[in-house]
Structure 1
Amino acid sequence: MPEMYFRIHWPDGATERCYSPSLVIKDHFEVGRRYSLDDFLDRSRIALRIASDRVQAKYGAPCSRALGQLARIEKQGAQFATIRDARVVIEAFEE
């Protein structure tokens, strides 16, 4: 499966390189676009679960790295939940 990384910019200015075992991330995000925190988290859940399901269909087990990345994104996102109009920017895709 073609794995990829996507780089995000959190509301506090920190950047993070995130993993996906599938290019499905590109179906849910656009480079340069600013997403509300809730929208970003929802899209991340959908995309990374689809990616994990694709791994499971091919190899018989879900992708622990994708699910771990999702857990990390949700944990980081929780830090910004009280910030009004918190935004996450997709900076780049790395294939």
Structure 2
Amino acid sequence: MPEMHFKIRWPDSSESLCYSPSLVIKDYFQLGRSYALDDFVGRSREALNIASERVRHKYGYACSGALDQLAQIEADAMRFWEEQTPTVTVIEFIE
């Protein structure tokens, strides 16, 4: 499976390098686009669950890397829920 990384910028301008075991991320995010925090987390949840299921279909087990990445995104997003209109920007796809 073609895995990839994607780099994001959080509302405080910090950056994170995220992992996906599938290119499905590109179906959910556009390079350079900013997403409302709740939309970003929801898209991440859907895309990374699909990626994990693709691994399960091919290898017979879920991808712990995708599920760990989703947990990290959700934990990091918690820092910004109280902000007014927080956004996350997708700044790079790395294949």
Alignment TM-score, normalising by the size of structure 1:
0.99
2-structure distance, mates of 1:48, 1:86: 21
SS in 1 for 2:7: strand
Percent same amino acid among aligned pairs? 56
Residue type of the partner of 1:36? A
2-structure distance, mates of 1:84, 1:44: 21
Residue type of the partner of 1:81? W
| Map of 1:87 onto structure 2 | 87
| Map of 1:27 onto structure 2 | 27
Unaligned runs of 5+ in 1: none
Deviations 1:35-87 (Å, cap 9, x if unpaired)?
Answer: 00000000000000000000000000000000000000000001100001100
Runs of 4+ more than 6 Å apart: none
SS in 2 for 1:22: coil
| Map of 1:16 onto structure 2 | 16
Residue type of the partner of 1:43? R
Between the two proteins, the alignment pairs up a number of residues equal to: 95
Unaligned runs of 5+ in 2: none
| Map of 1:74 onto structure 2 | 74
